[in-house]
Amino acid sequence: MPLIKLQFRPGVNRDQTNYSGEGGWYECDKVRFRSGYPEKLGGWTRTTSNNFVGICRQMANWSTTYSDNFLALGTNSHLYIEAGGYYYNITPVRDTLTTTDTDNCISVSSGSAVVTFNLAAAHGLNSGDYATVSGVVSVGDAVGGIPITEINAEHLVTVIDTDSFSVEVATAATSTVSATGGTAINIAVQIAPGYAISVQGYGWGTGTWGRAAWGLGSTAPYYLPQEDWWLDNFDNDLVANIRNGAPYYWERGTSTDPSTALATPAVTLQTIATAAGANPDDVPAKVMQLMVSQQDKHLLAFGAVPFGSTDAADFDPLLIRWSDQDNPGQWGPTPTNSAGFLRVSRGSAIVRALPTRQEILVWTNSHLYTLQFTGTTDVYALQEYADNISIASPRAVATAASITYWMGQDKFYAYTGRVETVPCSLRNYVFTDINEMQMDQIVCGTNEQWNEIWWFYPSSDSDYNNRYVIFNHLDKVWYYGTIDRTAWLDTPLRKYPIAANTPIDVTESVVTEGVGTAYYHETAIDADGAPMDSYIQSNDFDIEDGGQYMLTRRVIPDVTFDTSTSSAPEITLTIRPRNFPGSTYTEDAADSQRVIETSVGAYTDQVFIRARARQMAMKISSDQLGVQWQLGSPRLDVRPDGRR
């Protein structure tokens, strides 16, 4: 029998059985398709050697009229701006404590890196808060051998009692002392950190001591959502809010040197209103999502406290409010401004708003609306576009090539002017193995270089994002794999897509503090200097519908290693024979159906193997540094070998 050219359909299909999908691909990890052929996914490198604190859920990138290229990051504990490779902490401050009664207020013990503050009055802190200490001075610029610079810094607080707390520094004390710390110590307390993931449970056992569930009793059900930020730029400045929280504003300022602004925390939007001469009580005290309509320069709040109320408890999850045009501090409607509001009529809460080319798409938990700027006295008009739809999470949506795609609760959608279901060959694979309790973590983004939409999501056995699924919207094919990412941003202001991740101790569900990392994707062959395991495996194939056994004698590979940096790049080619779809693959050397692995390099012309079975699958994999590969059309030397 002549050589058989193995050409498989592009994309991966897990919605059919392995055998019924003959002629296609069944499994993969860190593989994409280019011109219909599989190749190893692009690697990633760190954007900077510096780290951030917390789990990042949102990023925003913008340029200013001063040529700044800012990247804002919101984590469950901090708000940052990255510029020039450095993370600047602009987390809003909720309170500033100043103590002038400093006699023996700082204590350290020999051999310990713990610094204890004993204040003369109640501090109002909670364990887990972050606070920045300043003003501490001492003879010799040290307290018990601990440098003053380590004390005058940001710290994670552990509360001892109402007027005492401790922090941990890098250097252990060399002596046990109590010091005055100078004439005045300032403690800037940042807004309280939120939860890294959604927490659900009952009363006292839910979450951290001192948080919202305490006091409900052991039988009261409670839901504590993960901390999410929404970020957008208003000209040179940044607007930000925690989902279902207070709105904030950070001013870049007019200096050609932004260093002062980067050292200044964001402030409440009410502060901006006061500075502009507007009524701060008109600013919504609580919003679901802040967004700037860049075409007409209105600041919009989707889900907000109604006009006339300053009580966050009056929050209306279906209310849309907006500020006066080009005036983010003016929210009170008058005959001479364009501030206003309207209410979505269907659904129980607004989940997400997303600007597109000519409209703003607004999702509730059951409907899709479009919001359009009219330029009339009504300012905006709202139109219902689809009902009986779902959206998996607030960040499960992205727009590419003027089409908006999103993940629903059980399928994928696209908005092209009308709502359509996107056919998906991985639908069953994704939605039957997803952690529905942590779907708020799902994040979506584009990879325009490769015409891809990425979704990162947690599998059913994980509390954190550990998988991805990709839709190539140009070729209309799907593929999937495993990567840990909490946020993704594809921005034209930076050359490569940016992703964020923070290591998690899965067994303890603990975030590793201070090691959050941002990566540039598609910049390398490897995974930040480590080998990247990638593979793709075909569906089983046969001859004569399995009526004859196949005897395989050799494979003529067709693999390219362009852009590889290894001096001897190679992949592993595996033939996986078996007699029945329900049989397992075996590596028993005495079995003619055993799995056969062989290495294929850049100059491998043919590989001699011997396998006999009714059906076979082919797998290509690599796990070496510096190897980039693309598979073409290998040929298999195979002949019929009887019926039994």
The dihedrals phi and psi of 268, each to the nearest 5 degrees, come to -65, 150
Best CA proximity match to 604, nearest among 624, 629, 626, 625 = 629
Please answer whether residues 238 and 72 qualify as being in contact, where contact means their C-beta atoms are separated by less than 8 angstroms. yes
pLDDT tens-digit map of 4-55: 899 999 999 999 999 999 999 999 999 999 999 999 999 999 999 999 999 9
Q: Which pair of tokens denotes residue 406?
A: 């999103």
Please answer whether residues 365 and 390 qualify as being in contact, where contact means their C-beta atoms are separated by less than 8 angstroms. yes
Question: Which of the pair, 426 or 638, is modelled with greater confidence?
Answer: 426
| Residue 610 clears pLDDT 90, i.e. is over it | no
Residue-level pLDDT at 122: 87
Rounded Cα distance between 207 and 191, Å, is 18
Over range 408-435, report the average pLDDT.
97
Host H or E run for residue 261: helix 259-262
Please answer whether residues 170 and 147 qualify as being in contact, where contact means their C-beta atoms are separated by less than 8 angstroms. no
Rounded Cα distance between 208 and 76, Å, is 14
Rounded Cα distance between 304 and 316, Å, is 5
- How does strand 517-524 pair with strand 498-501? antiparallel
Residue-level pLDDT at 121: 82
pLDDT tens-digit map of 201-235: 665 545 444 445 444 445 556 678 899 999 999 99
Residue-level pLDDT at 8: 96
pLDDT tens-digit map of 100-158: 776 778 999 999 999 999 888 888 999 999 999 998 888 778 899 999 999 999 999 99
Over range 577-589, report the average pLDDT.
76
Candidate from 200-204, 333-337, 372-376, 639-643 with smallest mean pLDDT: 200-204
Q: What percent of the chain has pLDDT above 70?
A: 93
HEC readout, 175-215: CCEEECCCCCEEEEEECCCCECCCEEEEHHHCCCCCCCCCC
Q: Which pair of tokens denotes residue 389?
A: 């739809």
Residue-level pLDDT at 209: 43
SS3 content of the chain, % helix, strand, coil (to 5): 5, 45, 50
pLDDT tens-digit map of 545-557: 878 888 888 999 9
pLDDT tens-digit map of 431-449: 999 999 999 999 999 999 9
Over range 61-65, report the average pLDDT.
97
Going 365 to 370 to 374 to 375, the CA torsion angle's sign is: positive
Best CA proximity match to 12, nearest among 33, 27, 29, 31 = 27
Q: What percent of the chain has pLDDT above 90?
A: 79
HEC readout, 74-98: EECCCEEEEECCEEEECCCEEEEEE
pLDDT tens-digit map of 572-581: 999 999 888 8
Residue-level pLDDT at 592: 52
Question: Residue holding tokens 């050697």?
Answer: 49
Please answer whether residues 166 and 160 qualify as being in contact, where contact means their C-beta atoms are separated by less than 8 angstroms. yes
Over range 336-362, report the average pLDDT.
95
Whole-number average pLDDT of the chain: 91
Residue type, 265: P
CA angle, residues 537, 538, 543, in degrees to nearest 5: 145
Residue-level pLDDT at 103: 72
The model's pTM: 0.93
How far from each other are the two terminal CA atoms of the chain, in whole angstroms?
A: 19
Candidate from 186-200, 491-505, 574-588, 598-612 with smallest mean pLDDT: 574-588
Rounded Cα distance between 402 and 432, Å, is 30
Please answer whether residues 244 and 303 qualify as being in contact, where contact means their C-beta atoms are separated by less than 8 angstroms. yes
Best CA proximity match to 459, nearest among 445, 443, 438 = 438
Best CA proximity match to 552, nearest among 635, 609, 633, 620 = 609
Question: What pLDDT band is residue 510 in, cutting at 50, 70 and 90?
Answer: low
Q: Which pair of tokens denotes residue 617?
A: 């699958």
Rounded Cα distance between 434 and 89, Å, is 34
Residue-level pLDDT at 189: 95
Please answer whether residues 289 and 241 qualify as being in contact, where contact means their C-beta atoms are separated by less than 8 angstroms. yes
Q: Which pair of tokens denotes residue 312?
A: 């966050």
Please answer whether residues 511 and 55 qualify as being in contact, where contact means their C-beta atoms are separated by less than 8 angstroms. yes
| Residue 413 clears pLDDT 80, i.e. is over it | yes
